[in-house]
Amino acid sequence: MTAVAISTKDLTKAFKGFTAVDHISFDVNEGEIFGFLGPNGAGKSTTIRMLCTLGRPTEGSATVAGYDVVRQDNQVRENIGLVSEKMIMYNDLTARENLKLFGKLYDIPDDVLDKKVRKLLSFVRMDKWADERIKTFSTGMKQRINVIRALVNDPKILFLDEPTLGLDPKSTAEIRELVRRINIEQNTTIILTTHMMVEADMLCDRIGIIDHGRIVALDTPASLKRLVSGTDMSVFEFEIPNLTGDMMASMGALPSVSSVTQDDPTHIKVHLRGEDAFDVAIDCLRKGGAKIRTARNLEPTLEDVFLQITGRHVKDDDIALGRRKHRFGGGGGGGGPRHGPGGGGGAARGR
Amino acid sequence: MVVRSTLRHSYWIMWKDLLEFSRSRMRLAMLVLMPLLMMGMVGFIYPTSDTITDQPIAVADLDAGVGNVSMGRVFTAQLEGINAATHMMVLSNASGMKDIKSDIQEGKIAGGIVIPANFTQSILRGEQGGLEVYTDTSNPQTSGMIQSVLSRTIDAMGIMLANQTLNQTYHIDSNRTVAIMKPYSVKFGGIVPGKPNYFQFVAPGIMSMTVMMSLMTGLPHAISYEKDIGTLDGMLVAPINRLSIILGKVMAQTVRGMVQGFIILGLAMSLFGVVIYGSALLVIFLILLIVFSFVGLGILITSFTENEETAGMVMMTLMFPMMFMSGVFFPVNQMPGFMQTVAHALPLTYASQAMRKVMLLGAGVPAITTEIIILVVFGVVMLAIAVPLFKRAMTR
């Protein structure tokens, strides 16, 4: 069965002076996990908000669970659950009270709701904490409650906007596992946005890469990666014990090198283009006095796909976001994509 | 059906709001503390003639006298005699008008009395003895109070002197002298028993204001706060009427406003001796009417404000003129003409006026029909403007 859960046609959202979502059209099939991948400010959240009836499209149309998001907004609402970037929970209320409130907004009768709340709490192993106030919870526990809160109405479609943002690695893994279980055990269609390549790769059946409000690629993770391996682009990792900034700079200046990134003090990752690119790179490093210990040809990642398609790293946009907001339309800051390990998390974040 | 489900959903939103509120000890404490401070503050801040004591007053006796007769000395002695009983003043001597002026400027004294050189001469010649009184006009309230106290004292002293003169010079029976000098006598009283005080006056106004405030500040604050922390999306994404969100908030705020209103009333009655002469049911009805009247304005501000901070600033701008110009603290008919015009344009004026009429004068519905109509019309007009705007603002 390949019924369509969501379908958009030329969906557009324009704010004063700039277009956040620019005529996007795509379908999401029932039962799949569909990922929206893109840098912060690319238009992921705005798209989600329109599909959840929280934002009115300026142009185009969308149906969710077969209902029009503008004309049949209440029917859409009955069929969806939302886990947004900000947690939808009241800190002074207990986990149970929070779930009860939202259940009541969906007119679920008391006896059914009680049972459902208990089931959901044990689903995420939070039974013990049911009557504790949310504010006493760790971020990971909060997010688990936040996710099941979106499930009180048994939604056909669950929207998750950056569900692992700001979580520690253990909680991140838990939430990802939870998302997968919801998809399999409850057969819920899931739309997920993320700026993390790994997350999209791990979870999603299909991925739409969104950039500057446009979907620039849409396919399964495997096919997307084939986009890269099918071209003359290759990714190499060099281990250089005596690595210097000068070596990286001269590498970056080569026409056949599209980016150089440093992962730790002795490892660099280089994106190369062209038949003889590897030779050119080796020559350049040798000339700079580098002692190359190892060189590895890496499997392409979604990160590479994004680079291949947009010419930029995902993280570059995170950092340049503040500037880009004022300078609409003009391409992102291409520059020399080089930054230290762990540089630029999600510091600047749009809605 | 739609109405019932809207009410049901708003009930649950109210339940949530009140539950949240009751969990915060700080907020509960403020619920009681705010009206207590408010009452105490406005009740005691204004000077009354009872509170004028030990005011430093200088007397400059420049009276030259006639022979060994000095009416100035007689006056001073009389003044000291009266003051010994009332303790309104602390008297000191000054050398002249200049002294008094500089002492007032330095803040050493609150006022001064100058007895002129020809004081005795004038009185003996059968003329009036002129006195000059100077007060510290930089403090209008105290200044006014001292002026009236001094003029009452001096009047009383004048009568004593006149009584003596009539009795001794014209041999008029002292029982009749007062009737000759003051042929009219007056007794003051209100239409309800008891002595009115300032608490009586402010309590109804503060009650109306608190109810209005909890709606006008509470509502936009509550909504924009939920918008900021993101929980509003949770309600908006549920299949509920957008109005039930605001209605739930209104109900929660009303309960809080009512509780606070009754706390004020309780405090006013138990601690400050305020008495309600009208019907308690009518008071409750008026509180609900005020809620209805200001809900629209609250929703209107909510729809216009983007975030919590803006909401706060808009509130402040609107609240202060309302607080001070609508007769909550000062009676409207004591204001200058143009201010009265402004006051009559503010709906809170009618709210506090009606509340006062019912609570202080024991008025019934017929006496406050005008106020009721104005409040209802204001509420309806505001709601008619605000509701569509709110619905639009919720789906951006």
Statement: residue A337 has pLDDT above 50: no
Q: Are B246 and B318 in contact (CB under 8 A)?
A: no
H or E segment to which residue A8 belongs: strand A4-15
The dihedrals phi and psi of A61, each to the nearest 5 degrees, come to: -145, 165
What pLDDT, on a 0 to 100 scale, did the predictor assign at position A342? 35
Residue B228 buriedness (CB in 10 A; 0-12 / 13-18 / 19+) = middle
A316 falls in which pLDDT band (50, 70, 90)? low
Nearest CA in chain B to A108: B9
Give the tens place of pLDDT for each residue, A3-19. Answer: 899 999 999 999 888 89
Statement: residue B134 has pLDDT above 80: yes
Nearest CA in chain A to B241: A74
The dihedrals phi and psi of B47, each to the nearest 5 degrees, come to: -75, 140
Go through chain B and tell me how many residues it has: 396
**What distance in Å separates the CA atoms of residue B158 and residue A126, rounded to the nearest whole number?**
88
Q: How far is B377 from chain A (nearest CA, A)?
A: 33
Closest partner CB to A74 (pick from B8, B9, B239): B239
Q: Are A123 and A145 in contact (CB under 8 A)?
A: no
Statement: residue A350 has pLDDT above 50: no
What pLDDT, on a 0 to 100 scale, did the predictor assign at position A207? 93
SS3 state at A19: strand
Higher pLDDT, A317 or A326: A317
What pLDDT, on a 0 to 100 scale, did the predictor assign at position B32? 82
Rounded-to-5 percentages of helix, strand, coil across chain B: 70, 5, 25
**B272-284 average pLDDT score:** 83
Mutate which: A13, A90, A133, A157, vs B, most B CBs within 10 A: A90
Statement: residue B120 has pLDDT above 90: no
Give the tens place of pLDDT for each residue, B17-29. Answer: 999 999 988 888 8
Statement: residue B276 has pLDDT above 70: yes
- Chain A partners within 8 Å of B15 (Cβ): 101
**B88-97 average pLDDT score:** 86
What pLDDT, on a 0 to 100 scale, did the predictor assign at position B191? 66
Nearest CA in chain B to A77: B239
In A93-122, the residues whose Cβ lies within 8 Å of chain B are 93, 97, 101-102, 104-107
Phi-psi map region of B115: left, alpha, beta (phi>0 left; psi -120 to 50 alpha): beta
Alpha-helical runs (H) found in chain A: 44-51, 73-78, 95-105, 110-123, 139-149, 169-185, 197-203, 221-229, 245-252, 277-287, 302-310, 314-324
Residue A32 buriedness (CB in 10 A; 0-12 / 13-18 / 19+) = middle
B47 falls in which pLDDT band (50, 70, 90)? low
Statement: residue B136 has pLDDT above 80: yes
Q: What percent of chain B has pLDDT over 90?
A: 13
Give the tens place of pLDDT for each residue, A147-192. Answer: 999 999 999 999 999 999 889 999 999 999 999 999 999 899 999 9
State the virtual CA torsion across B297, B301, B303, B309 in degrees, nearest 10.
-160
Higher pLDDT, B141 or A254: A254
What pLDDT, on a 0 to 100 scale, did the predictor assign at position A116? 95
Q: How far is B23 from chain A (nearest CA, A)?
A: 7
CA A154 to chain centroid: 24
Closest partner CB to B20 (pick from A53, A82, A92): A92
**A296-320 average pLDDT score:** 69
What pLDDT, on a 0 to 100 scale, did the predictor assign at position A330? 34
Q: What percent of chain B has pLDDT over 70?
A: 94
What pLDDT, on a 0 to 100 scale, did the predictor assign at position A327? 33
ipTM of the complex: 0.76
Residue B63 buriedness (CB in 10 A; 0-12 / 13-18 / 19+) = buried
Which residues, in sequence order, are bridge partners of residue A35? A192, A207
Q: Smallest Cα–Cα separation from A99: which of A122, A118, A86, A72?
A: A118
Nearest CA in chain B to A159: B237
B89 falls in which pLDDT band (50, 70, 90)? confident
B48 falls in which pLDDT band (50, 70, 90)? low
Name the pTM for this structure: 0.72
Statement: residue A334 has pLDDT above 60: no
Give the tens place of pLDDT for each residue, A244-290. Answer: 888 888 888 888 888 888 878 888 888 887 778 888 888 888 888 88
Statement: residue A320 has pLDDT above 60: no
Radius of gyration of chain A (CA): 23
Which residues, in sequence order, are bridge partners of residue B340? none
A325 falls in which pLDDT band (50, 70, 90)? very low
For chain B, which residues lie within 8 Å of any Cβ of chain A, measuring from their own Cβ? 5, 8-9, 12-13, 15-16, 19-20, 23-24, 229-231, 233-240, 395-396
β-strands A233-239, A80-83: how paired? unpaired
Q: Contact A92/B236, CB-based, under 8 Å?
A: no
Average pLDDT score, chain B: 84
Q: Residue B387 carries which side chain, given as an amino acid letter?
A: V
Give the tens place of pLDDT for each residue, B145-166. Answer: 778 877 877 887 788 888 888 8
What pLDDT, on a 0 to 100 scale, did the predictor assign at position A344? 34
Q: Are A23 and A300 in contact (CB under 8 A)?
A: no
